[in-house]
Amino acid sequence: MTTPDRKRVQLPDISPRAYEHPADRSALVAMRSLSGFDSVLKRMSGLFSERRLRLMFLASAVRCTDTQFRALHDIGRDCAYILDLPKVPEIYVQQDPVARAQAIGFDEPFIVVSTGMLDLMDQEELRFVVGHETSHILSGHAVYGTMLALLTRMAARVAWIPLGYIGLRAIVAALEEWQRKAEMSADRGGLLAGQDPDAALRALMKIAGGSRLHEMNIEAFLDQAREYDTAGDVRDGLLKVLNLLGTTHPFAVTRVAELDRWRRSGQYAAILSGDYPRRRDDGHVSVTEEIKAAAESYRRAWTESQDPFVGLLRDVAEGAVHAGERIFNRFARRSG
């Protein structure tokens, strides 16, 4: 339970709102406020069987225990302890040379880590990876990730109906944008679980460049992120947007820059000192205020970005945000 320098801090009753990106948090708060939403979604997702998937991994992968992959098993218990999960998720190791990890399930979520990920990461970097997936579980991201998967399949089935496909594709694109922000949320949660900023940044850099850490440099990688944000003209900015279509994860340089920025903002240190929202207060959170916080987050990102394409769209986007706020506020007043 120790880092090289000090003991890790447990975060009792921490709400996922403490680390969720504002755009992610606003969607989650809104969905959590809808009574029975997750139950309805579970019934809809006939193709997504948690029991079936768990049985599949039980049969084809190795479950981490005191006698199998014990180090990874202990990391999983530590992450659940630090983030104060009611139950420690099971972890399975799957033979797969591609470095990947995922959290699966609604009622009894579990984590799957590939052998490629195990081979790529050292102990502290694995702690960030497992903490990332544990944060997905604490936030309940699986529910909304499943909705994205269902709508993506539905969009493919109605592709021959032009208007129907366009409408669904717009919803899918919005959900993909949400999931990219959810990944940034889980990166923050992974940092809180591991409490080793250098290991967290190394892990994300390794996902981009592989195991040859001695050939890489985190400051140079952050320079790449700054260059990516400022590079080129309006055409390059448009290409960046097009490159994100169909993706559910932000690019590696974006993740590293965003996590480093969040750590330097002081929020990370404040949480470790005990200044964070508690789960017992989640039911009293205002959906309207969270949506306003999300809009402000986007405005701040647009203002700080040096991307010429973002500058071109800034006025249009801000107008759309204002319109969205007016529509939501009107709906909220009518619904009581």
Cβ atoms of residues 117 and 100 within 8 Å: yes
Which pLDDT belongs to residue 75? Answer: 97
Q: Using CB atoms within 10 A of its CB, is residue 293 exposed (0-12), middle (13-18) or buried (19+)? A: middle
Write out pLDDT tens, residues 280-299: 987 776 656 655 655 555 55
CA torsion through residues 82, 84, 88, 92, sign: negative
pLDDT of residue 22: 76
- What is the percent of the chain where pLDDT is above 90? 46
The residues that bridge with 62 in the sheet, in sequence order, are 93
The mean pLDDT value of the chain amounts to 78
For range 5-20, the mean pLDDT = 87
pTM for this entry: 0.77
Count of positions (residues) in the chain: 336
- What average pLDDT does this structure show over 221-225? 90
Structure token digits, residue 224: 């790449």
Kindly list the domain boundaries of the chain, sorted by start residue.
16-285
pLDDT in tens, 56-92: 999 999 999 999 999 999 999 999 999 999 899 999 9
Tokens 């590293």 sit at which residue? 256
218 pLDDT higher than 80: yes
How many C-beta neighbours within 10 Å does residue 125 have?
Answer: 25
Evaluate if residue 309 carries a pLDDT over 50.
no
Report the alpha-carbon distance of residue 279 to residue 282 in Å, rounded. 5
User: Residue 158 pLDDT > 70, yes or no?
Assistant: no
Closest CA to 130 of 106, 109, 107, 112: 112
- Give the pLDDT mean for 44-59: 74
pLDDT tens sequence across 201-211: 999 999 999 99
Instruction: Provide the β-strand partners of residue 80.
Output: none
Please report the pLDDT score of residue 28 as a whole number.
61
Q: How far apart are CA 102 and CA 137, in angstroms?
A: 10
Higher per-residue confidence, 286 vs 199: 199
Residue range 96-148, pLDDT digits in tens: 999 999 998 777 889 999 999 999 999 999 999 999 999 999 988 876 666 65
- Which tokens is 294 given? 């999300």
pLDDT of 196 above 90: yes
% the chain with pLDDT above 70: 60
Distance separating alpha carbons of residues 135 and 28, to the nearest angstrom: 13
Q: Poorest-confidence range of 8-22, 139-153, 271-285? A: 139-153
SS (H, E, C) the chain: CECCCCECCCCCCECHHHCCCHHHHHHHHHHHCCCCHHHHHHHHCCCCCHHHHHHHHHHHCEECCCCCCHHHHHHHHHHHHHCCCCCCCEEEEECCCCCCEEEECCCCCEEEEEHHHHHHCCHHHHHHHHHHHHHHHHHCHHHHHHHHHHHHHHHHHCCCCHHHHHHHHHHHHHHHHHHHHHHHHHHHHHHHHHCCHHHHHHHHHHHHHCCCHHHCCHHHHHHHHHHHHHCCCHHHHHHHHHHHCCCCCCCHHHHHHHHHHHHHCCHHHHHHCCCCCEHHHHHHCCHHHHHHHHHHHHHHHHHHCCCHHHHHHHHHHHHHHHHHHHHHHHHHHHHC
